């Protein structure tokens, strides 16, 4: 039935190892949620899944309607922007610490059993 191809990463097998190893997933650990490219959109997406943030966004949008405007537009936006910024910084720092830990774990030396 099933078979497994094992190619040592030594000497004259190196080219064959590199060719075959591209076909399979690596065993690197990745516990981070974000990348540099998707941090802002994904973080905002997660932020607006909270009911409180949607409520403040609703107030900001409502305040842009001239007939309903109760405060200055900038003052209404300020609490929402401050909360979103603080939570984004917190999430970014947490994710960066996870990235550093993943990098440390992925670069550990391991022992391989060989007869």
11 part of a folded domain: no
Nearest to 95 by CA among 33, 51, 40, 38: 33
Number of C-beta neighbours around residue 102 at 10 A: 15
Q: How many domains does the chain have?
A: 1
What pLDDT does 87 receive?
96
34 part of a folded domain: yes
Q: What tens digit of pLDDT does each residue of 80-89 get?
A: 999 999 999 9
- Residue 96's domain comprises 29-107
101 part of a folded domain: yes
Contact, 8 vs 17, CB < 8 A?
Answer: yes
* Eight-class DSSP state of 36: T
79 part of a folded domain: yes
4 part of a folded domain: no
Q: What tens digit of pLDDT does each residue of 2-61 get?
A: 766 665 556 666 777 777 777 777 778 889 999 999 999 999 999 999 999 999 899 888
Query: CA-to-CA distance for 95 and 42, rounded, in angstroms?
Result: 13
61 part of a folded domain: yes
pTM over 0.75: no
């Amino acid at each position: 039935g099933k078979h497994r191809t094992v190619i040592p990463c030594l000497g004259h097998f190196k080219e064959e190892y590199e060719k075959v190893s591209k076909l399979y997933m690596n065993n690197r650990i990745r516990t981070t949620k974000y990348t540099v490219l998707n941090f802002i959109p994904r973080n905002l997406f997660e932020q607006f899944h909270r009911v409180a943030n949607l409520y403040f966004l609703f107030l900001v949008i409502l305040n842009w309607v001239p007939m309903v405007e109760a405060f200055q537009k900038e003052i209404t936006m300020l609490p929402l922007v401050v909360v979103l910024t603080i939570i984004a910084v917190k999430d970014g720092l947490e994710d960066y610490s996870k990235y550093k830990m993943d990098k440390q774990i992925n670069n550990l030396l391991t022992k391989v059993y060989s007869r």
